[in-house]
Structure 1
Amino acid sequence: MHSEVVEVKRVFIGAGCNRIVNNVSWGASGLVSFGAHNAVAIFSPKSAQILTTLPGHKAVVNCTHWLPTSKFLFKAKGLEQHYLLSGDADGAIILWELSLIDGKWRQVSQLPQSHKKGVTCINGLMVSQTEAMFASTSSDGTVCVWELVFPLTSRGDCKLSCLDSFSVGSKSMVALSLAELPGGGGQIVLAMGGLDNKIHLYCGGRTGKLVHACELKGHTDWIRSLDFSLPISINGEVNNIFLVSSSQDKAIRIWKMALVSSVSNGHGIYKKEEMSLSSYIKGPVLVAGSSSFQISLESLLIGHEDWVYSVQWQPPVEMEGNAYYQPQSILSASMDKTMMIWQPEKTSGVWMNVVTVGELSHCALGFYGGHWSPNGDSILAHGYGGSFHLWKNVGYDNWLTQKVPSGHFASVTDIGWARSGDYIMSVSHDQTTRIFAPWKVEASLQDGEFWYEISRPQVHGHDINCLAVVHSKGNHRFVGGADEKVARVFEAPLSFLKTLNNATLQKSSSDDVLNGVQILGANMSALGLSQKPIYAQAVNEASERNGTDGIDTLETIPEAVPTVFTEPPIEDQLAWHTLWPESHKLYGHGNELFSLCCDHRGELVASSCKAQSAAVAEVWLWQVGSWKTVGRLQSHSLTVTQMEFSHDDRFLLTVSRDRQFSVFTITRTGSGEVSYSLLARQEGHKRIIWSCSWNPHGHEFATGSRDKTVKIWGVEKESSVKQLLTLPQFTSSVTALSWAGLHDQKNAGILAVGMENGQIELWSLSYNRADDGSITTPGLAAALLVRVDPFICHASTVNRLAWKKSEEDHLSMQLASCGADNCVRVFDINVVE
């Protein structure tokens, strides 16, 4: 085993977007960056897959910003590296470098003496093809201005320097935009806005020392977003630049800055513009170096019904002969669940809303930001549910929704593979249960399989802590446990079974299951607790009934329409039309549920809850099917953190906060009765035991603890437990374990170890054999096979690891993991002999 090499490849990452304004950026590289808890995630809109996550932040990521962004695509030609900035809730800013040739990332540096409190916005400007300036704001009331010089060769290093840092007082700024002023003076203008409802303009030269020039008043609530256009040519002279601003006052304002005088040629010529309707409100004059700019309110755009969180000019479009021009087109995103595109009317020049998308979504609860693709044919929003929404202009302003990655927007607490191995199911503190699966496409269309979220079986009113997939024959079932005393049992509806057939390209192979299922789907409840079934025969009646009374009260929630999908569903469909009906509630525990497991035959489910006393720390056993209580196992005095049945279902192992583990013998009589007895209980570790896992081919098991150790134990002669081995101390608390068997019995398989710092290691376990082949004591030896690359691991605590039960080739296996970084991950593990 030790001579083998193990390759670990990323197959899939599912993650939701932090629910924070300024979190998302669409780069000139074509890739989108966003914060997923304390990781920076990168996704490709072309494949709708998350490509990687960048570990390094110790706090939640608030904002990301590409250099160059889609706005500066025309300056990105010939660049071999692109850069990405990310700022977090502790005030740290990290600079990352992406090599476009091989797609590899590296952390270049953490910016020195950054902010004392959370970073609220980062915005940059490409001054030339190899020089950028950017500014950052923070809730500590400071603004920093930086310069970044790109390397000339792919092996060179970039140079980063802080040009200026100044305080803006107690009203912190949450939006900013940088631009180079027209007129050839090389002057930089910085606009920022925030809690004092005013837009502050600062000016300065390329050295970055900025002085306060003037302020623009008009908005009556917090300013949320600012974006400068590139210099715009009017009547052949490129002397104007526009600034668009949006606010919580629901309005969008477009400000025009027109060059009125320049003393560069010796005599100051003051050109008075002919009075036009558009410049009826004269604003202040901005003095920048030797130039002056008259500012006027060009337009006031009213149309949104709630806070407007973001506005963005469409990126410049390439013309013939390498010329670029910027369309007069603005994208806005609002908490009213819509994005709008605004353009001036051809004849009158009055700005109008020409496109509105998103108004149908029941579930988005509003958008936090909107972004243009580099070529302007797609628009992306991120919403309250951590979700992305993408529309593409397929021609003549016909904007159609596109596939996007999705995932949880809070810590993912538990994960399990389907009995068939066709999908994984995850539960989270975001109060949802989600199913992710590889959506197979006929081989001719694409290479490799892409994973998507294909169902959201449960949308709940409590944080969900644990789940157990039921492994018995028949329909797909799972049990979920949340911050309530009841465990809930769910059964797959017909619409899911048919969707799964489409995803796996099975031409309805499981007809025996389909015939027995009468339930099409489920409806959400008003409080988000029980999900009621929708029966096949009831659907026709509902459609007739809905036509008559259009009374909308608090209790009525739009009827779900259980749908069979022929391609991966999008957010709206997932949140509404893919629920599973709840078939049973399991009452008995005294506190919030904490862990669940099912035996390998699919006959018993064990459950535990949060506990401070022995009476509450009981493990309950439930019979699958009748869902009767068949046992209450007493042994621990604090919360049982994880449980697992041995693979022959003869033992149940439980580990607890009380630092003990227990092994129970489970006996089944012919009549289906279950009896149990405590075989062993002992203190296994010096701190909380977080996780445990059985050897699939034997009666050995592993325990992992906050004391940073993993110990291997063996059940001897079915009467006692003996310690066989302690693995070398790990660098961080061990929070997840999963043991996979290899099909040749010479080896005891591979143990996957997940830690609090997000790292995953794979260890090979082998039996010590004497020359004659008999096993010598102490039985087992362990060796580190591989430390998984941090760039494909989690960025904070690994909560659960689960191997896919593979029947066929043991040299290629799949491992799923979930973590506190909101991510669900799937890895391919190939043993190269």
Structure 2
Amino acid sequence: MCNDLGLSGVAVQSMRGAHSVCVHTPAGVCGVHSPAGCVILVGDPSWNASGLGGFHEHNDPKICCPSVGKVVENLWGHAYHVNALIYVTNFWICIHHALRGEYSLFEASTEGGGLVWFISYNYADGVWRLVSQLPKSHKKGVTCISGIMISQDVAMFASTSSDGTVHVWEMILPSSLGGECELSCVESILLGPKPMVALSLAELPGNTGNMVLAMGGLDNQIHLYCGDRTGKFIHSCAVKGHTDWIRCLDFSLPFSSYDKKDCIFLVSSSQDRSIRLWKVVLRNSTCDDIPHRKEGIGLASYIEGPTFAAGSSSYQISLESLLLGHEDWVYSVEWKPPPSSYLEESSVYQPDCILSASMDKTMMIWQPEKKGGIWMNVVTVGELNHSALGFYGGHWSPNGDSILAHGYGGSFHLWKNVGIEFDNWQPQKIPSGHYAAVTDITWALSGDYLLSVSHDQTTRIFAPWTDEVHSGERSHWHEIARPQVHGHDINCVAMIQGKGNHRFVSGADEKVARVFEAPVSFLKTLNYSKYQKSGLPEDLEDVQILGANMSALGLSQKPIYVQASNETPEKFGSDAMDSLETIPDAVPMVLTELPIEDQLAWHTLWPESHKLYGHGNELFSLCCSHDGKLVASSCKAQSAKVAEIWLWQVGSWKAVGRLQSHSLTVTMMGFSHDDSFLLAVSRDRQFSVFSIGRTGVDEFNYQLVARQEAHKRIIWACSWNPFDHEFATGSRDKTAKIWAVEDGYSVRLLLTLPQFSSSVTALSWIGTNSSTNPGLLAVGMESGLIELWTLSRGKPDTDGQAKSNYNAALAVRFDPYMCHVSTVHRLAWRNSKKNEGCIAVQLASCGSDNCVRIFNVKF
């Protein structure tokens, strides 16, 4: 047995079986994860001082490294959607963790009435661990958390929920690595019918030991609560100014300038499209008289606001500046972090710089003028492609030279200041992936890339990428194209086999199947991704379609021909980006660098060549014959007439057959290895086997060979033995069965695998030519877990015929940290290849957790 730790740091549990099997993930698929899209939540991602970022995909927390565009860790285990994640943002935690070699974060979810976890990473052993779990204090899901370090061993943080409460917590960190922490709730605040959606916690200026908690939400006001480590947070004042919901609050660190001594600043953003900067200044003791407002108020002076008491000190909060420039809701504001050089100094100070992100598809950097002190917008970056729908949050990198945004489509957008003498912000590569359930995957015939479709209404291509600079290193998996951007949820896809150009057919929540063909720009990009500069194969040099374009209100993707694209850039480089001032048509290009989100969303489309009309409901399943001559399709159905399977001839795309057998939706189909049989499984708990023959050039005959009720519940999955007329079926009844087609007209049950812990939702069989070793069966379940089972027959008799007994043994049960956190929708084996004397194959999976994963399996 071999246990490969891989990049995840978690060993795979290897079980008994006929083979020794080890599973690990390829570098570049982010440890155990594939590229992923962020959950659509306001302010979900976070970026800490170590350079690691955190975000959520479904209920699966992920740790990424934005600077290199990879996901590096998967924090598996939540049963419900995660609503919030933060690194402790006060800069003191940077010093604290730099000394101890440890980084920490908080995360919160809807689970069990709103649980909050404190998770820590130790550089010494490279392992993330759960340090503490907060009690179920909230009655509903936690929506926001904010925390600071008030000393090297004590952290304070607050959590708010849609139940209208805010809890303030004190956490005493362990004195040694790996120790336990002490956790206590020091205050519970009841807010009433209008819950808060934004929090920020800070220490008040003047070294008084007092803290202030700012809250903002649905009543358009900022509420300040003051207290200390012992709790007793008291409502001090409410600040008015915004005219719509407050979406984000962020306190600054103390400033180093003389005129800002004994003060901190609070920045707020709102759905009223404005940003307001508030100044909190230490005035005097509570017994002193508060001075009257000065008569001469100029642009450089602030408007004095309400005063409040905290302990024995008095503070005043005033409006410092009103920042206008965004044209839509401003979801996020954040102060720029201090330079990393401050880690070696005893005091850290706040730079005069703010980052904002808005639904107007832009992020802005704000700074005060050197002479007048008026805050101005000095940098604007954004995405203006047709598919971008705005930003839900923006974050600074630890050293302040990069800014990260996440958008409605689950996408990340990264810009870096590459200028030396002046600012020059340029877009950078960043992890990408689906942001809704991934419903189907298929490998290209050559195995060069993986195609996936999702309910996020996109089709995406992932491929290993080796660039010229790092050609000697291992390839990394990245999204290199987005062939289809649709207006309906996409349910199924099939790669068209056989010779010729790369083609696929997809089916969505519409009654039409659509056929797409790869343009020349993608073919050259694919060739470059494999670091081959020999040019296109001869049979593809006559491809005349460069790419595709789609109108903003259309669903069809129209071809862009080579002759009509004389001004199209030949390849992507740093000078090929269009100005953000205009929204150009699609500009297909050969990618010599990893594409950014703007290019993926608009410049890598494939042209649509055909539409297949015939079904009466939404498409549900597709498959293609191995010779590339037939495509079978099915749709959602509640009657036998609608549950027909349609056969389409590739090339002419004529309907050449309508197979009737089932009374409910056909959930999955597959052709046998020699294309002589078509297998279909259905929600009616039956499977059907049809014989498929060809009588002429455009004529096919088909006949129902067998129909049998195979399971007690819905049959979700099926898979053929690639070298024999044997197949497997998997069902909601938590069983998987092996069947054989005998003599071309009957089906016999060979084996029922032991009952699984969850519904079987995905199967994929990789076979061998051996008469006694049928191969390996991958099983995916509704729980997200994946198992590999070795299949074997009895030894042949003296007459050469194999015995009827059929055996199965569990070879590998994937570690949960490597698996999905919800239903596995599809499993697919990549073409195998020999590697150092042993067979190495790759297994791809997709699921409801919005994720696509690729595993290396070595026998």
Same fold (TM over 0.5): yes
Q: Identity of counterpart residues, as a percentage? A: 64
Give the TM-score of the pair, scaled to structure 2: 0.91
Question: Aligned pair in 2 of structure 1 residues 622, 494: CA closer, same or farther (>3 Å)?
Answer: same
Structure-2 residue corresponding to 1:376: 400
Structure-2 residue corresponding to 1:469: 495
In the TM superposition, what is the alpha-carbon distance from 1:232 to its structure 2 partner? 2.1
State the distance in 2 between where 1:239 and 1:70 align: 18
Q: Secondary structure at the match of 1:148?
A: strand
State the distance in 1 between where 2:506 and 2:746 align: 33
- Equivalent residue for 1:817, pick from 842, 845, 856: 845
Structure-1 residue corresponding to 2:576: none
- Equivalent residue for 2:854, pick from 801, 826, 829: 826
Structure-2 residue corresponding to 1:153: 176
Which deviates more from structure 2 when the two are superposed, residues 745-754 or residues 621-630?
Answer: 745-754
Structure-1 residue corresponding to 2:221: 198
Structure-2 residue corresponding to 1:602: 628
Structure-1 residue corresponding to 2:411: 387
Structure-1 residue corresponding to 2:602: 576
Question: Aligned pair in 2 of structure 1 residues 775, 118: CA closer, same or farther (>3 Å)?
Answer: farther
Per-residue CA distance 1:248-271 (angstroms, 9 max, x = gap): 1111111111111148xxx96979
State the distance in 2 between where 1:40 and 1:728 align: 32
- Equivalent residue for 1:134, pick from 112, 132, 157: 157
Question: Aligned pair in 2 of structure 1 residues 6, 779: CA closer, same or farther (>3 Å)?
Answer: farther
Are the counterparts in 2 of residues 433 and 456 from structure 1 also a CA contact under 8 Å?
yes
Per-residue CA distance 1:723-768 (angstroms, 9 max, x = gap): 1111111111111111112465542211111111111111111222
Q: What is the correspondence of 1:407-806 to structure 2 with a 5 Å cutoff?
A: 407-442=433-468, 444=470, 447-540=473-566, 558-669=584-695, 671=697, 673-742=699-768, 746-769=772-795, 777-806=803-832
Question: Aligned pair in 2 of structure 1 residues 773, 796: CA closer, same or farther (>3 Å)?
Answer: farther
Question: Aligned pair in 2 of structure 1 residues 715, 606: CA closer, same or farther (>3 Å)?
Answer: same
Letter in 2 for 1:464: I
Per-residue CA distance 1:231-255 (angstroms, 9 max, x = gap): 2234288411110001111111111
Q: Secondary structure at the match of 2:565?
A: helix
Question: Aligned pair in 2 of structure 1 residues 212, 716: CA closer, same or farther (>3 Å)?
Answer: same
State the distance in 2 between where 1:721 and 1:112 align: 55
Are the counterparts in 2 of residues 68 and 83 from structure 1 also a CA contact under 8 Å?
no
State the distance in 2 between where 1:651 and 1:743 align: 19
Q: What is the correspondence of 1:201-212 to structure 2 with a 5 Å cutoff?
A: 201-212=224-235
Which deviates more from structure 2 when the two are superposed, residues 318-327 or residues 476-485?
Answer: 318-327
State the distance in 1 between where 2:91 and 2:209 align: 22
Structure-2 residue corresponding to 1:6: 22
State the distance in 2 between where 1:306 and 1:686 align: 53
Question: Aligned pair in 2 of structure 1 residues 334, 225: CA closer, same or farther (>3 Å)?
Answer: same
In the TM superposition, what is the alpha-carbon distance from 1:104 to its structure 2 partner? 2.4
Structure-2 residue corresponding to 1:400: 426
In the TM superposition, what is the alpha-carbon distance from 1:477 to its structure 2 partner? 0.1
State the distance in 2 between where 1:150 and 1:256 align: 32
State the distance in 2 between where 1:524 and 1:171 align: 43
Q: Secondary structure at the match of 1:389?
A: strand
State the distance in 1 between where 2:153 and 2:474 align: 36
State the distance in 2 between where 1:211 and 1:173 align: 16
Which deviates more from structure 2 when the two are superposed, residues 58-67 or residues 561-570?
Answer: 58-67
In the TM superposition, what is the alpha-carbon distance from 1:43 to its structure 2 partner? 1.2
Q: Secondary structure at the match of 2:783?
A: coil
| 1:176 to 2:199 alignment | yes
Structure-1 residue corresponding to 2:36: 15
State the distance in 1 between where 2:90 and 2:439 align: 35
Which deviates more from structure 2 when the two are superposed, residues 764-773 or residues 705-714?
Answer: 764-773
Question: Aligned pair in 2 of structure 1 residues 743, 80: CA closer, same or farther (>3 Å)?
Answer: farther
In the TM superposition, what is the alpha-carbon distance from 1:66 to its structure 2 partner? 1.6
* Unpaired segments ≥5 residues, structure 2: 1-16, 570-581
In the TM superposition, what is the alpha-carbon distance from 1:153 to its structure 2 partner? 2.2
State the distance in 1 between where 2:441 and 2:538 align: 27
Letter in 1 for 2:251: F
Structure-2 residue corresponding to 1:24: 45
Are the counterparts in 2 of residues 25 and 69 from structure 1 also a CA contact under 8 Å?
no
State the distance in 1 between where 2:512 and 2:591 align: 32
Structure-1 residue corresponding to 2:94: 73
State the distance in 2 between where 1:808 and 1:672 align: 39
State the distance in 1 between where 2:509 and 2:156 align: 48
Are the counterparts in 1 of residues 833 and 840 from structure 2 also a CA contact under 8 Å?
no
Letter in 1 for 2:43: N
In the TM superposition, what is the alpha-carbon distance from 1:213 to its structure 2 partner? 0.9
In the TM superposition, what is the alpha-carbon distance from 1:494 to its structure 2 partner? 1.0
State the distance in 2 between where 1:242 and 1:211 align: 20
Question: Aligned pair in 2 of structure 1 residues 742, 211: CA closer, same or farther (>3 Å)?
Answer: farther
Are the counterparts in 1 of residues 568 and 589 from structure 2 also a CA contact under 8 Å?
no
State the distance in 1 between where 2:501 and 2:403 align: 40
- Equivalent residue for 2:322, pick from 300, 307, 322: 300
Task: State the aligned residue count.
Answer: 816
Per-residue CA distance 1:72-105 (angstroms, 9 max, x = gap): 4233212333232222245333333323334323
- Equivalent residue for 2:370, pick from 342, 346, 356: 346
Per-residue CA distance 1:630-659 (angstroms, 9 max, x = gap): 111111110000001111211111000000
Are the counterparts in 1 of residues 618 and 636 from structure 2 also a CA contact under 8 Å?
yes
Which deviates more from structure 2 when the two are superposed, residues 138-147 or residues 335-344?
Answer: 138-147
Which deviates more from structure 2 when the two are superposed, residues 291-300 or residues 102-111?
Answer: 102-111
Which deviates more from structure 2 when the two are superposed, residues 37-46 or residues 9-18?
Answer: 9-18
In the TM superposition, what is the alpha-carbon distance from 1:46 to its structure 2 partner? 2.7
Are the counterparts in 2 of residues 8 and 788 from structure 1 also a CA contact under 8 Å?
no
Are the counterparts in 2 of residues 733 and 756 from structure 1 also a CA contact under 8 Å?
yes
Are the counterparts in 2 of residues 192 and 226 from structure 1 also a CA contact under 8 Å?
yes
In the TM superposition, what is the alpha-carbon distance from 1:621 to its structure 2 partner? 0.9
In the TM superposition, what is the alpha-carbon distance from 1:356 to its structure 2 partner? 0.8
State the distance in 2 between where 1:120 and 1:513 align: 56
Are the counterparts in 2 of residues 435 and 454 from structure 1 also a CA contact under 8 Å?
yes
State the distance in 1 between where 2:798 and 2:22 align: 29
In the TM superposition, what is the alpha-carbon distance from 1:212 to its structure 2 partner? 0.7
| 1:38 to 2:62 alignment | no
Structure-1 residue corresponding to 2:574: none
Q: CA RMSD in A?
A: 2.4
- Equivalent residue for 2:313, pick from 272, 288, 291: 291
* Unpaired segments ≥5 residues, structure 1: 544-555
In the TM superposition, what is the alpha-carbon distance from 1:110 to its structure 2 partner? 4.0
Letter in 1 for 2:149: M
Q: What is the correspondence of 1:330-369 to structure 2 with a 5 Å cutoff?
A: 330-358=354-382, 360-369=384-393
Which deviates more from structure 2 when the two are superposed, residues 160-169 or residues 731-740?
Answer: 160-169
In the TM superposition, what is the alpha-carbon distance from 1:450 to its structure 2 partner? 1.5
State the distance in 2 between where 1:446 and 1:512 align: 28
Give the TM-score of the pair, scaled to structure 1: 0.94
Are the counterparts in 2 of residues 27 and 69 from structure 1 also a CA contact under 8 Å?
no
State the distance in 2 between where 1:719 and 1:318 align: 74
Letter in 1 for 2:120: E
Structure-2 residue corresponding to 1:552: none
Letter in 2 for 1:806: S
Per-residue CA distance 1:684-737 (angstroms, 9 max, x = gap): 111100001111122221111111111111112222111111111111111111
In the TM superposition, what is the alpha-carbon distance from 1:540 to its structure 2 partner? 4.3
Question: Aligned pair in 2 of structure 1 residues 15, 775: CA closer, same or farther (>3 Å)?
Answer: farther
